[in-house]
C-alpha cells in the first residue's frame, strides 16, 4: 500500500504504481516527467500505468508530463482514495489493519488471479480460479474461517 502526500514522480511514482492500494492526500500531485530528461517511466511504469488507467490516458500523462491533482488521479483510477493530509496515515494504518485480519493465502492468490484476469484469456483465468479455490478449501484457514463465522467471532488465520 502507498500513502502519497506531496509530489509523486519518477521512481517514487513507479513504486506507488506497483502497490495494490494507493491512498493520496488532497495535497498530492502526480507527474510522469521522465521525457523532460530523455527517459521513460521505468521499473514497469508504462505497463502498470496502461493497466491502471487505459492506453489513451496513459499516453496523455506520459507524453505531456503535466502534473495532475489527487482528485484527478482518483477519477482516472491512479489512486483509490483521496484523504485530507492530516488523516492520511491514520487511514493507511486502518486499511493495513483490515488487511492483516484477512486470510493471507486467499489474499495472495486473489492478487494473482486478478492479474491473470487481465493477462490471459477467460477460459485460462477461470481454470486458475477453480484451481485456487480447490486448494484453499482444503486449508486450515478455511476451516478456521467457517468456525469463526459460526461462532460469530473474528477468525485467527495462520497461513496454513
From residue 84, alpha-carbon distances to 2, 26, 44, 94 in Å are 15, 5, 29, 15
Same domain, 49 and 10: yes
Same domain, 144 and 94: no
Same domain, 79 and 140: no
pLDDT category at 33 given cuts 50, 70, 90 is very high
The C-alpha cell at 66 is 503535466
pTM of the model: 0.86
Q: Tell me if 45 is assigned to some domain.
A: yes
Q: Tell me if 40 is assigned to some domain.
A: yes
From residue 137, alpha-carbon distances to 81, 106, 144, 151 in Å are 33, 10, 11, 19
pLDDT at position 153? 96
Distance CA 114, CA 25 (A): 27
Cβ atoms 21, 80 nearer than 8 A: yes
Residues 53-64 have a mean pLDDT of 96
Q: Tell me if 113 is assigned to some domain.
A: yes
Same domain, 19 and 62: yes
pLDDT category at 160 given cuts 50, 70, 90 is very high
Distance CA 129, CA 133 (A): 6
Same domain, 91 and 15: yes
Please, what is the average pLDDT of the chain?
95
Cβ atoms 30, 58 nearer than 8 A: no
Q: What is the domain-level CATH number for residue 85?
A: 3.90.226.10
Distance CA 33, CA 67 (A): 8
Express each pLDDT in 77-127 by its tens digit. 999 999 999 999 999 999 999 999 999 999 999 999 999 998 899 999 999
pLDDT at position 49? 96
Distance CA 50, CA 118 (A): 12
Boundaries of domain holding 118: 101-150
- Per the structure, the count of domains in the chain is 2
Q: Tell me if 118 is assigned to some domain.
A: yes
Q: Tell me if 159 is assigned to some domain.
A: no
Same domain, 125 and 84: no
Same domain, 30 and 14: yes
The C-alpha cell at 94 is 486502518
Residue of 8, 21, 19 lying closest to 95 (CA atoms): 21
**% helix / strand / coil in the chain, to the nearest 5?**
60, 10, 30
Cβ atoms 60, 39 nearer than 8 A: no
Q: Tell me if 59 is assigned to some domain.
A: yes
Q: Tell me if 43 is assigned to some domain.
A: yes
Amino acid at each position: 500500500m502507498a500513502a502519497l502526500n506531496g509530489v509523486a514522480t519518477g521512481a517514487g511514482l513507479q513504486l506507488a504504481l506497483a502497490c495494490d492500494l494507493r491512498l493520496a492526500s488532497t495535497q498530492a500531485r502526480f507527474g510522469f516527467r521522465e521525457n523532460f530528461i530523455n527517459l521513460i517511466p521505468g521499473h514497469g511504469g508504462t505497463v502498470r500505468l496502461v493497466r491502471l488507467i487505459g492506453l489513451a490516458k496513459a499516453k496523455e500523462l506520459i507524453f505531456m508530463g503535466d502534473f495532475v491533482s489527487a482528485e484527478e488521479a482518483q477519477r482516472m483510477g491512479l489512486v483509490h482514495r483521496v484523504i485530507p493530509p492530516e488523516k492520511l496515515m491514520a487511514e493507511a494504518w486502518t486499511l493495513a489493519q483490515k488487511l492483516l485480519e484477512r486470510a493471507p493465502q486467499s489474499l495472495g492468490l486473489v492478487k494473482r488471479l486478478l492479474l491473470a484476469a487481465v493477462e490471459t484469456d477467460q477460459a485460462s483465468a477461470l481454470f486458475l480460479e477453480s484451481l485456487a479455490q480447490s486448494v484453499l478449501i482444503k486449508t486450515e484457514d478455511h476451516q478456521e474461517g467457517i468456525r469463526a463465522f459460526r461462532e460469530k467471532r473474528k477468525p485467527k488465520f495462520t497461513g496454513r
